[in-house]
Structure 1
């Protein structure tokens, strides 16, 4: 038995709050993930640090908020940015700086084997996983999605081709299992298992698609209107298109992609049991941002949460989070603790008995007390978001905070504010800012003190907005 536990961080790409059957989906099927939840602690107030992917990923590995890192949008090496509407996107850094002492480096320094498998999307070659403390990098590159599709040949850097037609989610799961089986048995391991799924392109195995097509017919979903057409996009790049909101989960291809993820989790759990590592391994399951619900085929619906990826609302940032460690974390437990991406770094160090690095993970608060004692009192204080960009899913630049039951948002196009009581209004339908001017003043001050402390960068007014949007 290892002196320290092994750690597996399973990070799904674009997985929504309602994308699991254990979260309430009646169309998607996730028995292995459901079982993972049953055997550990679930968090119902867990958040990604950003409504899009790269900033949340950087935040997990650094223990810092994206605004402090200046990695505030998905990392674009193909000149999509800056988006232009009434405003022009803020600048941002397009890599996780190697000057950050990443969580992987902390584990590596402590003698852990450190492996990254899957999506990276935190910069070009000089900032790849091997420069951030990972001994092994399989599939991690500057790509934000499988550019050549989910079926081999992948033409993907740092991942050899599989047999023609091999499915990428299966391959990533198999690579993770192989690393566990071939490990150095004298040392614990940290496995960063970051799937490309369920990011677009929407592609899945034919037999799985057929199964969910039949299920959709049985449930009558194929007879329902799946979309609502909304306003035009607020950016020049997409001004001729309209926001398209999915209002029901019914896409068979997306459901099949979720099934493949679930099968991968099942394979991983079986490997841990076969290798007698089940009780010695902490497994974390979460996502980098919310489900894609308003653009790019709008494959999923996050209801009762509002909107999805790329917005400032709950559907963009509230995430499933499950943590399993048999014998240490109470099975079937539920925590209402407020938590966000930077918290993983100090949490895992503390659970593994490793020295904390408060200067590095300065925005994170350890969840270890809650994980080891569900009755423990825990208040990590408010959490913050700063997204000074247009999401290419329809969202506009803004900043926000969550404090207790309250969610406060400021939008930069018109300087309007929103205040929601999430205990009463999880769908964020009722803006009560006018009813609580005292809270608005308090949260405005709290938010701007934080923005100043992290030296936040802002969008600027677009002097050619009328011409750009004509």
Structure 2
């Protein structure tokens, strides 16, 4: 009898627990998928944030706090050393070479040879990150620089974004008063107060969207025009950094970099002490802080993935050469580390550990599959990137090479070339004459010591992989000029 009573009590306990279990399951089923905020900064170098560079001249407290609350990647890359191609890769998960999107749109200047044939738009048949998330019920928002097509059918509002504030064909804030209102941007409809700062306006619009869509899920993609030229800073911040620059001793410029044309000399910036650029970096950081604060105030920080990165390296060899990427070699427009290694921070609540640091190799091609997976969106088309979830959990990614293809003469002086990174080794191939250099980045992050002669087998293996990849993505190369034929792989 006692056993029967115990059984009955057990059964009654189970029955009593069933509603609680059903309620818990319902909560899991009804849980909102993670919101997504992406910060994409234009021309921000790896060494331009305090989280990567303790001696950084620029104050970036909000970005640094983001790094402390998420995961910082030490070996994160852009898919290309200039803007449009990397933006294409972030939107599609593909290497830009697949679409012949190998230079900034509108740029293809000849020098010793003509640059490779290229497209100046992101093809309409491409499935974008915004379209993938929108199909899963996400509200989608874009603010800032787009630079992925010449006419409106190629702009954000026709590529999966519900709202577009400021995204059109231009590669910089070249209309109106530049970084200060009135902007005269065709995609900023409501006028700003006279003198309003562009990063502040974009952050305000992003925060407004977050508040209006706090029931989620949403994608907010803030692609700053900052810190691209024209070099224009807020007067109060410029004054601050002029005083700070006076305390930084030493020569601002030094060793010359190999550039085209050969007879033209370009010095590399050695010190970060450009007051206007510093003001632009801090103002961008303030804008990041506005958006992060809105997430906190809306109670959304615990269910929002935040990504912070850049589209190419810092501008160190032209157009005022406002920043230094040292110890990284080169900068924007170069396939050296200074042109392609980027700040990468990802905060994924419940997945990343606060203050975590990863040396896994990642690239802008990985944004699409990572966020699509987090949103539960199926990737049904061919992409090159991988889901970074294992790395975000602190695990190892499956080993893979990363590739770069830049068959153009950059207006920063960069020489046409390709590269492959396998583990610690990076091989650079000059497209003018086919010469290669090999560097062990673990020992030589500045790419100063060519060890190709000491490792002929490694050169052969890596070059074979690179050339096989060229065929896979149907890479195009330099074209003849004045009867002179360039090297061909």
Whole-angstrom CA distance in 2 between matches of 1:95 and 1:106: 20
Cα distance between partner residues in 1 of 2:238 and 2:431: 42
Task: Tell me the CA shift for residue 233 of structure 1.
Answer: 5.1
Deviations 1:415-449 (CA, angstroms, capped at 9, x unpaired): 11010000000000001111111011101110000
CA contact (8 A) 2:143 2:222 kept: yes
For structure 1, list consecutive stretches of 5 or more residues without a partner in the other structure: none
Aligned to 1:111: 137
**Residues 21-54 of structure 1: CA distance to partner in whole angstroms, max 9, x if unpaired?**
1211431111110000000011111000000000
* CA pair 231-45 structure 1, distance change in 2 beyond 3 A: closer
TM-score, structure 2 normalization: 0.89
C-alpha change, 1:2 and 1:117, in structure 2 (3 Å) is farther
> Which ranges of structure 2 fall in alignment gaps of 5 or more residues?
1-29
Match of 1:71 among 101, 105, 110: 101
Match of 1:370 among 366, 391, 396: 391
Aligned pair in 2 of structure 1 residues 458, 275: CA closer, same or farther (>3 Å)? same
How big is the alpha-carbon RMSD for the aligned residues of Structure 1 and Structure 2? 1.7
The structure whose Rg is larger is: 2
In the alignment, the residues of structure 1 paired with residue 308 and residue 258 of structure 2 have an alpha-carbon distance, to the nearest angstrom, of 35
- Distance of 1:23 and 1:276 partners within structure 2: 29
Given that residues 85 and 465 in structure 1 are in contact (C-alpha distance below 8 angstroms), is that contact kept between their aligned partners in structure 2?
no
Is the Cα–Cα contact under 8 Å of residues 93 and 384 in structure 2 kept in the other structure? yes
Whole-angstrom distance in 2 between the partners of 1:240 and 1:439:
33
Match for residue 413 of structure 1? 432
Give the aligned partner of residue 164 of structure 2.
137
* Cα distance in 1 for residues equivalent to 2:433 and 2:346: 40
Cα shift at 1:69:
1.7
Report whether the alignment pairs 1:86 with 2:112.
yes
Deviation at 1:380, TM superposition (A): 4.1
CA displacement, residues 305-342 of structure 1 (integer Å, 9 cap, x when unaligned) = 00100011000000110011233211111111111111
Q: Residues 2 and 150 (structure 1 numbering): CA distance in 2 closer, same or farther, change over 3 Å?
A: farther
Equivalent position of 1:126 in the other structure: 153
Secondary structure (helix, strand or coil) at the match of 1:22 reads coil
**Equivalent-residue separation in structure 2 for 1:383 and 1:272 (angstroms):** 34
**CA apart distance, 1:463:** 2.0
**1:355, distance to aligned residue in structure 2 (A):** 2.2
Which residue number in structure 2 is paired with residue 150 of structure 1?
Answer: 179
The separation in 1 between residues aligned to 2:356 and 2:376, in whole angstroms, is 23
TM-score by length of 1: 0.93
Contact 1:39–1:326 (CA under 8 A) maintained in structure 2: no
Do structure 1's residue 168 and structure 2's residue 198 form an aligned pair?
yes
For the 8 Å contact 2:48–2:56, the answer to whether it is kept is no
Classify the secondary structure of the residue corresponding to 2:452.
coil
Give deviations 1:69-111, integer Å, cap 9, x for gaps: 21110001xxxx4322221101111111110011110001110
Write the distance in 2 (CA, Å) between the matches of 1:186 and 1:261: 27
Q: Classify the secondary structure of the residue corresponding to 2:110.
A: coil
